Structure 1
């Protein structure tokens, strides 16, 4: 029985594309075509392997259920497994002795689905508002902006907005995405909904505030003791006994709220969290 609860972000934390880090050697995610997409470095792979024998591991990710299904390198060592996807709006379950397929647990997501339906009209309005602004974005000549509405809860409920700036060179991404966010500030004041902005590489996502990794992780920690009214969840909860340690991991500023629910936090040395911490330390030490 496990006594460590490991709640971890995935992308740019436990693995990333070779374009982001060419040192990746262990395939972790795969495209729909079957081609390997993201890889873990030796250090990332060693960290995960170090934790797996003793930890009940739960992914806490913005990935969709379909993307999580193709994250084949995420392989905890307990039979009944859970994963929080869609920023925590969806809780997936699988029993790896029976099948590698992840299955959503409706008892978890029903509340979020209802909220998404209520927010459907404002979300579509805000998509139109942002779409109308795209021609005014100042971008490198070779870059192209693409905006989409992403669906969840079976694929029929509008959930969040993604803005991608494509065709950027690796060394351009950080600066261009920062400039894009600055340009968007005035138009964001006119949106009907309220959102959390989450940047991952060249993608900027606008997530509704009724869902967050922090809220989902807090709910999960409590539910491991009380249940959610689902027998499959109960089977997973039985894999972990009295929790001696909650360990969290993430790389971005939007991960920090859920990471602070743990006893200790892990972040890659090259990450927005580590960079901000380093800058803060320099200011306070007058370096």
Structure 2
């Protein structure tokens, strides 16, 4: 019996070199995520490689990632189907976007385009006034604007978060502000990994009705889709583990 594994990628199955455990020699790290020019960006430890091999051999592996479709394709991870862009994209087994989900997301996004661009411009202006070296953009897939992403070019997370905090009063009610290291994503309420999982999971269960579904993730925004699964796993020391487990210790 094989399981269905819905798995986050970054900081779950691999991470940037800066986030790799200090006790693992660099020569033992395996590059799995790559830039457009082919240079390595993300690395897996031996234990993460063992986890990937175990999942690949015992489960239908379905990445559930904040990565864009393009960035997902540059990660050397096998998949049966996939969810990308914080749930804005569902990919079929051949890597093509699911047309029904694309139509659904496009219809929901049509009303929020101006809000996304206004938030982008407001954060960029705040960064300019603070002389903060931020890169702020609206992430889109197939021409559909999905969410605002802000990063600090020199990975100064304190400056990044302080700059975003200064404009929080302009974020509409019900929107999500997701912080994970040097990434801040501001997302409308219709966007989220859990919405795409809720759409895809019935199809996976219909194809494999007796397969247990395992949700694996590291961040607070992974928890809603993991709650739709039969079982849940999280890396030790992750954002989600700290929130869920440390209060119990």
TM-score, normalized by length of structure 2? 0.88
User: Which residue is equivalent to 1:222?
Assistant: 202
* 1:182, distance to aligned residue in structure 2 (A): 5.3
Secondary structure of the structure 2 residue equivalent to 1:94 = coil
Deviation track 1:139-187 (CA, whole Å, cap 9, x = no partner) reads 6xxxx222112221x2x2322111111213xxx64xx16xx43554452
- 1:203 partnered with 2:183: yes
- 1:19 is paired with a residue whose SS is helix
Matches within 5 A, 1:184-195: 184-185=164-165, 187-192=167-172, 194-195=174-175
Q: In structure 1, what is the equivalent of residue 55 of structure 2?
A: 51
Q: Which residue of 2 aligns with 1:253?
A: 220
Structure 1 or 2, whichever has the larger Rg, is: 1
Asked if 2 retains the 8 angstrom alpha-carbon contact of 1:10 and 1:59, the reply is yes
Query: What does residue 149 of structure 2 align with?
Result: 162
* Secondary structure, aligned partner of 1:13: coil
Q: How many residues align?
A: 244
Q: Which of 111, 121, 125 is the matching residue for 2:104?
A: 111
Distance across 1 between alignment mates of 2:93 and 2:244:
37
2:39 alignment counterpart: 35
Q: Does the 8 Å contact 2:88/2:146 carry over to 1?
A: no
Q: Deviations over 1:229-260 (max 9, x none)?
A: xxxxxxxx4xxx22331111101111111112
Q: Contact conserved, 2:29 with 2:46, CA < 8 A, in 1?
A: yes
Secondary structure (helix, strand or coil) at the match of 2:78 reads coil
| 1:85-100 paired onto structure 2 within 5 Å | 85-95=84-94
- In terms of fraction of residues, the more strand-rich structure is 1
Match of 2:242 among 275, 280, 285: 275
What is the CA deviation profile of residues 29-77 of structure 1, one whole-angstrom value per residue up to 9, with x for unaligned ones? Answer: 11100112211111111112112222111000111110011012x125x
Show the counterpart of 1:16: 15
- Once residues 16 and 53 of structure 1 are traced to their aligned partners in structure 2, the CA distance between those partners, rounded to angstroms, is 22
Which stretches in structure 2 are left out of the alignment for 5+ residues? none
Alpha-carbon distance in 2 for matches of 1:182, 1:278: 27
- Secondary structure at the aligned position of 1:91 is classed as strand
Partner of 1:266: 233
TM-score, normalization by structure 1 = 0.77
User: Unpaired segments of 5 or more residues in structure 1?
Assistant: 96-101, 227-236, 283-287
Q: Give the conservation status (yes or no) of the 8 Å contact 2:193–2:222.
A: yes
Distance 1:211 1:217 in 2: 11
Q: Residues of 2 paired with 1:166 and 1:9: CA distance?
A: 24
For 2:152 and 2:40, the matched residues in 1 are separated by: 22
Root-mean-square deviation over aligned CA pairs: 2.3
Going from structure 1 to structure 2, the CA distance change for 1:3 and 1:277 (only over 3 Å counts) comes to: same
Measured in 2, the distance between the counterparts of 1:244 and 1:149 equals: 37
